[in-house]
Amino acid sequence: MSLLLVMITIMLALRKLRPGPLEGSERLRRRVREVCTAFNVSSRVTSLQLRHIYVDDTRRILYCSAQKVASTAWKKVWLRLTSPPQTKTVSSTNRHDIHLRSQQNMLIQPKFEDVWQDMLASYRKFLFVRHPFERVVSAYRDKIQFVKDMEDSEIPQSIRKKISQNLGASASRAAAEEVVGFPEFVKFIVEQDDEDIIPWDSHWRSVHQLCNPCGIEYDFIGKFENLPDDADYVLRWLGVEDLVGNFPATQKSKAEADVAFQYLKELSSSIKMSFLAKYRLDFLSFHYEFD
């Protein structure tokens, strides 16, 4: 067998293992319906979820944003789609300005108060998901361990104070340290009550909590792990690829999974089980494993 034929055979085999964007999304959508039915998950749409859904009213599109799942890049896209022509340039806008400017398009805004239910029923809707543990590791590294932006500098101190309050004496070491340890951080978030609102917690709340795929039937569900292909497909599907151009995100390295594995080794078996229980709907719905 020639080398070329071998390469073609391998490529075809890999293609069968990894579905294209549309097929992958359809698998996820079916899986979500199965999990929601099996666990009898409430379909009620909350104000928290309305704060994470962004509107392009002109094109009748809704996007649910989960932080640490390329949300800044998608909000750049949203600003290009919804801003007046003279303000569409966002490449130089910093991350905090992008999040601030995009808030005017949230479904929670008063201008959508009487129509958001009809919009959820009739507009095209999409979201992107990510492995729950890798997402939490990314949140920890970005917001706690390696803080780069002055706007985020108060987050570690605030979280450390919350850990001391919520976990009591067991958190004394974390309270005394300059940086909250990863095991303390994970223990803190898995013990957070669903109704307990904490600043920045959208960076680690589950996608089910933020986007409610049991109550909102999304037309496309993409994966962070397949971001280049899935994002390009969504831009074509929405018919905005010429307007937006290349998706404004750097391709993430596969090394991120290896980084997350190093943090996983810091956790005890009991904390791992608690984490799995906390994010069980995300693990089950979006075909992620945790070992």
- What confidence score (pLDDT) does residue 110 get? 96
Model confidence, pTM: 0.86
Residue reference for tokens 């719905």: 285
Mean pLDDT over each residue of the chain, to the nearest integer: 85
* Out of 81-90, 138-147, 265-274, least confident range: 81-90
Q: Could you tell me the two tokens for 45?
A: 């749409």
Burial of residue 193 (CB within 10 Å: 0-12, 13-18, 19+) is exposed
Beta bridge partners, 54, equal 63, 106
- What confidence score (pLDDT) does residue 177 get? 55
Task: Please give the average per-residue pLDDT across 144-149, as a whole number.
Answer: 77
154-190 confidence digits (pLDDT tens):
666 777 777 777 666 454 454 455 678 999 999 999 9
